[in-house]
């Protein structure tokens, strides 16, 4: 089968289209014919190995010290596709089922096929979505839902999403609206109309306005990009406000811990859990018309390097999709 592999760490030029062995499902696994996948910031960070100091060594050991281990050379964290075949013990899926899934630390979605255990993080995809659309839901969905649950978001609360136009932020805005919050999305000029189109009540252009100086306080601030100014964000929280850090550096972690210990304001960090019941929850929201995806660009599998360059440029609005099977996105 065809796959995009990287045999050394570096620029997008290290990515190459290669023929690799097609996997065979074990007794408890399904073989998925992948129709669509995505390129996320996480894929780019692992490829270049630009990892924050705290996680650098353990992740380098996990993926390979001098070069990626052979079984870690295919990136891609989320996918949508069709069940091609199943192991003899599989009961939940049958060939032909259309599914969406997250592969987590196992990656390997940038290929024509992938095996997953039937009790893994995969579910029947929404009936009203294409493969391209369904592939964009898991990573952004899991992360946004994780943090909004940490905040115990309530109807009527004011929520600010910092870096709102990415894969996590676009879903976070819609989930916060679903829970009844008044939502402000903060991002750059060209992305504000899109934020309004998915339900943001207010938008702030960070290139023209400092949100911490407009006099508004928020019950919840969710920073999905790790670039919000800690002190000013803290001051913009209400008395018992919650500051959510999806991509914190060590200074934010230390200051967040101190803030939580010494004030009524709380700071939450940590990795999102990945539960199949949450995929089902997203499917229900999507089929009800409550949640939709935002796709910026689509690239075929053999243009993976160009997709990585675009994601790294910081211009991405929503998601970048890899169309693995031509013609499957519509």
pLDDT digits (tens, 9 = 90+) for 289-306: 999 999 999 999 999 999
Pair 156, 109 in one domain: no
Pair 259, 313 in one domain: no
Looking at the structure of the chain, the number of domains it has is 2
CATH code of residue 258: 3.40.50.720
Mean pLDDT (the chain, rounded): 94
pLDDT of residue 272: 84
199 vs 177: CA distance, rounded Å: 7
Give domain status of residue 286, yes or no. Answer: no
Residue 270 — left, alpha, or beta (φ > 0 → left; ψ -120 to 50 → alpha)?
A: left
Pair 124, 231 in one domain: no
Pair 144, 121 in one domain: no
Give domain status of residue 178, yes or no. Answer: yes
Supply 104's token pair: 């987590």
Overall average pLDDT of the 175-193 stretch: 97
68 vs 72: CA distance, rounded Å: 6
Pair 146, 263 in one domain: yes
Query: What confidence category does residue 123 fall into, taking pLDDT thresholds of 50, 70 and 90?
Result: very high
Query: What confidence category does residue 177 fall into, taking pLDDT thresholds of 50, 70 and 90?
Result: very high
| Alpha-carbon distances, residue 104 vs 23, 62, 143, 191, 293 (angstroms) | 18, 13, 12, 28, 20
Give domain status of residue 168, yes or no. Answer: yes
Give domain status of residue 102, yes or no. Answer: yes
Q: SS3 breakdown of the chain: % helix, strand, coil, rounded to 5?
A: 35, 25, 40
Pair 114, 40 in one domain: yes
298 vs 176: CA distance, rounded Å: 27
Pair 65, 162 in one domain: no
Give 21: exposed, middle or buried? Use CB within 10 Å, 0-12, 13-18, 19+: exposed
Supply 168's token pair: 């996590």
What values do phi and psi take at 297, rounded to 5? -140, 155
Give domain status of residue 275, yes or no. Answer: no
Pair 8, 126 in one domain: yes
CATH code of residue 131: 3.90.180.10
Residue 330 has pLDDT above 50, yes or no: no
Query: What confidence category does residue 250 fall into, taking pLDDT thresholds of 50, 70 and 90?
Result: confident
| Helix orientation angle between 137-150 and 276-287, rounded to the nearest 10 degrees | 100
Q: State pLDDT tens for residues 38-72.
A: 999 999 999 999 988 878 999 999 999 999 999 99
Which domain does 107 fall in, by range? Answer: 2-136+293-323
Give domain status of residue 329, yes or no. Answer: no
């Amino acid at each position: 089968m065809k796959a995009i592999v990287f045999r050394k760490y570096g620029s997008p030029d290290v990515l190459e289209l290669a023929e690799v062995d097609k996997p065979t499902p074990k007794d408890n696994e399904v073989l998925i014919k992948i129709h669509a996948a995505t390129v996320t910031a996480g894929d780019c960070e692992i490829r270049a190995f630009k990892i924050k100091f705290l996680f650098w060594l353990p992740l380098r050991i996990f993926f390979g010290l001098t070069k990626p281990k052979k079984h870690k050379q295919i990136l891609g964290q989320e996918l949508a596709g069709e069940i091609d075949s199943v192991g003899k013990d599989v009961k939940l899926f049958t060939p032909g089922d259309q599914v969406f899934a997250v592969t987590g630390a196992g990656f390997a979605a940038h290929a024509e096929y992938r095996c997953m255990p039937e009790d893994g993080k995969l579910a029947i995809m929404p009936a009203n979505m294409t493969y391209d659309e369904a592939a964009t839901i898991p990573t952004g969905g899991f992360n946004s839902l994780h943090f909004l649950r940490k905040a115990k978001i309530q109807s009527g609360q004011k929520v600010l999403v910092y870096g709102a136009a990415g894969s996590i932020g676009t879903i976070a805005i819609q989930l916060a609206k679903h829970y009844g919050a008044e939502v402000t999305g903060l991002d750059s000029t060209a992305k504000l109309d899109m934020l309004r189109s998915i339900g943001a009540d207010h938008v702030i252009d960070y290139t023209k306005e400092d949100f911490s100086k407009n006099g508004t306080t928020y019950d919840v601030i969710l920073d999905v990009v790790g670039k919000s100014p800690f002190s000013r964000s803290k001051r913009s929280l209400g008395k018992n406000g919650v500051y959510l850090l999806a991509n914190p550096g060590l200074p934010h972690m230390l200051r967040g811990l101190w803030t939580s210990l010494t004030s009524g304001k709380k700071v939450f960090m940590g990795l999102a859990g990945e539960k199949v019941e949450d995929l089902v929850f997203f499917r229900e929201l999507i089929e009800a018309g409550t949640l939709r995806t935002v796709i910026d660009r689509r690239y075929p599998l053999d243009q993976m390097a160009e997709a990585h360059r675009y994601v790294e440029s910081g211009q991405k609005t929503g998601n970048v999709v890899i169309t693995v099977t031509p013609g499957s996105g519509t």
